[in-house]
Amino acid sequence: MEKILDIIELIAYEKGLKIDSVAGAVKEAIIITAKKSLDEHIAYDVEIDKKNKTLKLYQKILVCPPSDERLSSDPDNHISITEAKEMDEEVEVGDELRYELSLENMSRSAVNTLYKELEFHIQRLIETQLFEKYKSQVGKIVSGSVVRVDDEGNTFVEIDEIRAFLPKKNRIKGESFKVGNVVGAILKHVSIDRKNGIQIELSRTTPKLLEELLRLEVPEIKDGDVTIEKCARIPGERAKVAISSSSPKIDAVGATVGVKGVRINAVGKELKNENIDCIEYSPIPEMFVARSLSPALISSVKIDGTKAIVTLPSEQKPKAIGKNGINIRLASMLTGYEIELIEQGGVLGIPTASLTQTPKEEKKDISSLASLFKE
């Protein structure tokens, strides 16, 4: 144990850990080794002498009154005040006596135990530090190289010093990766346990990915002049983003889209050519719902609890619904309202919850959305 402080500093430097954390791990490893090799019933303490850079192991014994039951139930760790005063007149009840134990004559098995305990505790320190690092990045974009794709289509991505997991369900439909590809995704979840260590789950389907990509691409969003209020996605197909501006001089939609759509197209390309609609957010529910159904032109909106009843010209209904009902579904996801369409003239449409598929025959005489969309 000579120059133990130098060893601790070296480990801390090589592993990127705090010296105090490594010192604590070393102390704990030595105490566990002492319990396994000497006596598991004894209370131990470890002290590092910073001046001499050495380490000492002590046995701790608590001074108790003569009538204390612990003197008989746990004599290894307790001593009566009467016996203690024979060794030191100034000792008092509640004081702790410490006796140094030798580490010089450790057996080979004890040395092996100490090595394994040190390795285990240092590894736990590294994992805990990594866990805290990646926990702070949850909801942010991380990127790395694909190192493996299993038979089920799950992708394993190496991010700096750790391997993350991108499940097939969190991958955009039709998207595939090969070993060596660089992948960017949202860090969705991070966990740690003794058996498997750190587990990191990634996602490319969450709306958060779209938000983060927009922050990277649009300086006004990054600087806080433009705010992303709401976001809804059907991954790989289409998305809607509601944005607002903190300054009347800044056009939120124009800034986000960019000249000739250069900014929004760059984001869409990263998401497998996902079409992204940018709309101006409104705190007025009726106006927000009307804008969310863009490119359809809406005549009126009435809010009834969690339902938005939308009146519109019959020629605007296909635009409001969109291909496969995608436009009205995204509008519902974005606003949080169940949207029901009414054609001007009184023809009632079905709510968004029932929209799943496009009609097989659009040439037929259609009187309601119920006949448009069949399971």
Residue 340 identity: E
Measured distance CA(57)–CA(103) in Å, rounded: 7
Predicted pLDDT of residue 371 = 41
Mean pLDDT for the chain? 85
Residue-wise pLDDT for 85-116, tens only, equals 888 778 888 888 888 887 766 777 888 888 88
104: Cβ contacts below 8 Å, ≥ 6 apart: none
pLDDT of 357 over the 60 cut: no
The per-residue DSSP string of 22-45 comes to: HHHHHHHHHHHHHHHHT-TTS-EE
Predicted pLDDT of residue 337 = 94
pLDDT of 373 over the 50 cut: no
Give the CA radius of gyration of the chain. Answer: 33
Identify the three-state secondary structure at position 170.
helix
Predicted pLDDT of residue 353 = 47
Measured distance CA(195)–CA(274) in Å, rounded: 39
Measured distance CA(181)–CA(143) in Å, rounded: 10
Closest C-alpha to 185, from 271, 264, 265, 266 = 271
Yes or no: say if 309 and 320 are a contact pair by the CB < 8 Å rule: no
Residue-wise pLDDT for 186-212, tens only, equals 999 999 877 777 899 999 999 999 999
pLDDT of 143 over the 80 cut: yes
Predicted pLDDT of residue 1 = 56
Predicted pLDDT of residue 225 = 92
Predicted pLDDT of residue 319 = 93
How far are the Cα atoms of 200, 327, 347 from residue 187, in angstroms, in the given order? 7, 28, 46
What are 215's two structure tokens? 């922050």
Closest C-alpha to 190, from 234, 142, 151 = 142
12: Cβ contacts below 8 Å, ≥ 6 apart: 18, 19, 21, 22
Query: When comparing pLDDT for 338 and 68, which is higher?
Result: 338
**149 pLDDT band (50/70/90 cuts)?**
very high
Residue-wise pLDDT for 23-45, tens only, equals 889 889 988 888 888 888 888 88
Predicted pLDDT of residue 73 = 85
**351 pLDDT band (50/70/90 cuts)?**
low
Which residues in the chain belong to E strands, given as ranges? 44-49, 54-64, 78-80, 96-101, 141-149, 155-159, 162-166, 182-193, 197-203, 226-234, 238-245, 275-280, 300-304, 307-312, 338-343, 347-351
Measured distance CA(60)–CA(96) in Å, rounded: 6
- When mean pLDDT is compared across 27-31, 244-248, 330-334, 362-366, the lowest value belongs to 362-366
Query: When comparing pLDDT for 335 and 361, which is higher?
Result: 335
Residue-wise pLDDT for 203-237, tens only, equals 999 999 999 999 999 999 999 999 999 999 999 89
Give the residues across from 228 on adjacent strands. Answer: 243
Predicted pLDDT of residue 105 = 65
- Quote the pTM value: 0.72
Percent of the chain topping pLDDT 70: 90
pLDDT of 364 over the 70 cut: no
10 phi and psi, to 5 degrees? -65, -45
